[in-house]
Amino acid sequence: MSELRRDPIVNRWVIISAERASRPMPPWPAPAAPDGSFCPFCEGNEHSTPPEIMALRPAGSAPNGPGWSLRVVPNKFPALTLQGAPAPEDHGPYQRMDGAGVHEVIIETPDHRATLGAMDAGRVTDMLRAARARFRSLAADSRLACAQFFKNHGREAGASLPHPHAQIIAMPVVSRRLIEETCAARERFRETGSCVLCHVVAHELAHGKRVIFQTRHFIALAPYAARTPFETWILPLGHRARFEQETDEALADLGAALSRVARAIGAALDSPPYNLILMSLPFREGGEESYHWRLEFLPVTSRLAGFEWGAGFHINTTPPEEAAARMRENS
């Protein structure tokens, strides 16, 4: 079983997971499964994943067999596994916990070569609805404090398999970044009486320079302090704290918006590797009035270097206003 260890100085937990070292890393870019190396996520290979948690399949088709259009399965090499009742223990100057949590994979499509930008928007919506269903289910387990949804596309973005998939890791503690963001958002709300991202949305709509597009429910923008060239945020126009409370209709709108962002970034940067991450209020904390959920799309254009590791500052060589202008042309 893996272990959570807390850095002795700051509130940074690390997952020590020797088991994950054994997961296979196939060649990348991988050939399509049918004529190339074996892909555990392709149709017909359902038994090479742990049994499915949920799937979209025609009425009457059997679980863990072909015919599906989307599957959610436990990660075969999980960073965390849910056992026992996790609680932090002190060890001298340190803290540790059993690595109790959940690590799941959303296989977005049977099509090995599909991409978010080229996929039908309805399929992207299905993926978002599957994530919402899993968030709702995980939130009901009192041992879990929050969940991180993410998608790594391309080896340079940390993906170990090329078949389109996203992941969810649910944790027994609130993630460091959510602690920082929810505390800062709450503080700002106390000072100003409003949500900082509602202020950002209003400011961006009034100025326009960093807006990429707007839909009925969402806005896509290049964030003012973008960490990487072409970093893009998609956030609700109205104040909403939790992704899992979005309606079917809003998620259909979001699916179309996300696929449009993926196409615009793909056109601007020639289909870069990227990380997609969801920031949403932890399961069991207040803060609904001050926290505003969002998707972050981070193209990988360079390596994190010593300055970023040491200072925690990023250096971005593309001003977000330029990135937004290029993306407006392409979206």
Out of 136, 177, 216, 284, point to the residue binding a copy of itself (CB under 8 A): 177
| Catalytic residue from among 112, 165, 217, 292 | 165
The DSSP-derived string for 136-158 is HHHHT-TT--EEEEEEEESGGGT
Out of 50, 277, 285, 287, point to the residue binding a copy of itself (CB under 8 A): 277
Q: What is the dihedral of CA 260, 289, 170, 243, to 10 degrees?
A: -30
- For the chain, the distance separating the N- and C-terminal CA atoms, rounded to the nearest angstrom, is 45
Judged by CB under 8 A, the number of residues near a copy of itself is 81
11-70 positions binding a copy of itself, by CB under 8 A: 11-18, 20-21
**Least separation, in Å, of the C-beta of 34 and a copy of itself?**
27
Residue partners of 321: CB distance under 8 A and separation at least 6: 209, 210, 222
135-164 positions binding a copy of itself, by CB under 8 A: 148-152, 155-159
Kindly state whether residue 176 participates in binding a copy of itself, applying the rule CB under 8 A.
yes
Q: Which two three-digit tokens encode residue 152? A: 């790594």
Region binding a copy of itself by CB under 8 A among candidate stretches 44-52, 61-69, 253-261, 293-301: 293-301
The DSSP-derived string for 161-179 is --S-EEEEEEESS--HHHH
Q: Which two three-digit tokens encode residue 299? A: 């193209």
Kindly state whether residue 304 participates in binding a copy of itself, applying the rule CB under 8 A.
yes
Q: What is the DSSP secondary structure assignment for residue 239, as one 8-state letter?
A: -
Out of 81, 125, 232, 275, point to the residue binding a copy of itself (CB under 8 A): 275
Q: Are 99 and 1 in contact (CB under 8 A)?
A: yes
Out of 35, 87, 90, 313, point to the residue binding a copy of itself (CB under 8 A): 313
Buried b (16+ CB within 10 A) or exposed e, 33-58: beeeeebbbbbeebeebeebbbbebe
Kindly state whether residue 75 participates in binding a copy of itself, applying the rule CB under 8 A.
no
218-237 positions binding a copy of itself, by CB under 8 A: 223-227
165 has catalytic annotation:
yes
Out of 8, 27, 29, 208, point to the residue binding a copy of itself (CB under 8 A): 8
Kindly state whether residue 169 participates in binding a copy of itself, applying the rule CB under 8 A.
yes
Cα radius of gyration rounded to whole Å, the chain: 20
Region binding a copy of itself by CB under 8 A among candidate stretches 105-113, 213-221, 260-268, 314-322: 314-322
Q: Which is nearer to a copy of itself, 33 or 226 (CB)?
A: 226
Cis peptide leading into 272, omega within 30 of 0? Answer: no
Kindly state whether residue 9 participates in binding a copy of itself, applying the rule CB under 8 A.
yes
Q: Which is nearer to a copy of itself, 157 or 256 (CB)?
A: 157
Q: Which residues are catalytic?
A: 165
